[in-house]
Amino acid sequence: MTDLSTTIAGVRFPSCFMNAAGALCVTREELVALGQSGSGAIVTKSMTVEPRQGNPEPRYYGFPGGSINSMGLPNLGYKAYAELIPDLKRFGKPVIASVAGLCEDDFPIIAAVINAAQPDLIEVNLSCPNIPGKPQIGYDPETSERVIKRVRSLITVPMGLKLPPYFDPAHHEVMGKVIGRHGVDFLNMINSVGNGLVVDPEREAVVIKPKGGFGGLGGRIIKPVALANVRAFYKLFQGKIPIIGTGGVVDGMDAFEHVLCGASAVQIGTVLVEEGLGSFDRLNNELTAVLARKGYRSLAECLGTVREL
């Protein structure tokens, strides 16, 4: 019998697959539907202090091999999610609250109230790439460290960080040192690859409206970047900080690659938006088949074991 359950920061997940913050998880109805689905957890939309409509539409576009989006953090505001969290726990799977902020001061305000609502885990999103004029906190180690310090003392449930993609070993090492100083319980990587541009040559136009068409790339096109970040941080921390791998998971084999590189679980975004909640059952079946064919009975048996040449 192949076991797809996993444990992150002492919390057991019935399946290693879950939604990425942002994919079908904004409203109460969407979050309940995740609870009723084959997802191993319910991840909330990254929440801000005030409710947000987000950027003007069209703001998401799927294309062969991936997607581009510039959503602008549409969400109900943290107070609404704080009220929803206790009810979402009835589904018997972990609830991960994703906390964002438009400025540094927002993070502790949200963190204190959300922690009181007692989700199973809190993900502090240092990588909100699609707010015009707002840089990503995760690309500034000093700002990142200030934010982590300010929320760490307020959060009593397991606390993790959602990180942007890094493209240089020096950046992995700098952020690794920041993370290592503050008792972070898990990591989630990567967020979408920022500031891509997709053009429709027939219309001779960009495909999304915000930011002149610039947006975050997701889907299979970003898988090598996601795998590189998972592997880099897995090696930096010698497997001691569990990692949720996000980026490019379209089928069971993609998930297997994430696990080989060091991911204890995986999140899906583009494929969930494109295919719907049935994608969880398909992915669970496909990964089960991959592990069975290779003789693995659990994720733990192949976690982080990718061979280097």
In a domain? residue 269: yes
Q: What is the C-alpha separation between 176 and 190, in angstroms, rounded?
A: 14
Give the pTM: 0.97
3-state SS class at 191: coil
Instruction: Please tell me the predicted confidence (pLDDT) of residue 1.
Output: 86
Cα distance between residue 280 and residue 252, in whole Å: 10
Cβ contacts of residue 239 below 8 Å, gap of 6+?
262, 303, 304
Q: What is the CATH number of the domain that holds 229?
A: 3.20.20.70
Secondary structure class of 131 (helix, strand, coil):
coil
Give me the pLDDT at residue 82, please.
Answer: 98
| Residues in a beta bridge with 245 | 189, 266
Q: Is 292 in contact with 257 (CB distance < 8 Å)?
A: no
Regions of the chain short of the pLDDT cut 50: none
CB-based contact 226:189 (threshold 8 Å)? yes
For residue 306, being part of any structural domain is answered with no
Q: Is residue 34 part of a domain?
A: yes
Q: What is the pLDDT of residue 292?
A: 98
Q: How far apart (Å, rounded) are the C-alpha atoms in residues 139 and 52?
A: 24
* Cβ proximity of 159 and 166 under 8 Å: no
Read off the pLDDT of residues 170-194 as tens digits, 9 standing for 90 and up: 999 999 999 999 999 999 999 999 9
Q: Is residue 278 part of a domain?
A: yes
In-domain check, residue 309: no
**Rounded CA separation 165/151 (Å):** 22
- Asked whether residue 290 is domain-assigned, the answer is yes
Tell me if 18 sits within 8 A of 37, measured CB to CB: no
Residue 132: the pLDDT is 63
Q: Which pair of tokens denotes residue 117? A: 């609502």
Q: What are phi and psi of 98, to 5 degrees?
A: -100, 115
Distances (CA, A) of 181 to 78, 122, 149, 175, 206: 27, 18, 9, 10, 42
Per the structure, the complete domain to which residue 251 belongs is given by 6-301
pLDDT digits (tens, 9 = 90+) for 97-143: 999 999 899 999 999 999 999 999 999 999 975 566 677 999 999 99
Asked if residue 307 belongs to a domain, the reply is no
Domain count within the chain = 1
Instruction: Let me know if residue 308 belongs to a domain.
Output: no
Q: How far apart are CA 74 and CA 53, in angstroms?
A: 5
Catalytic residue ranges: 128
- The reported pLDDT for the residue numbered 135 is 78
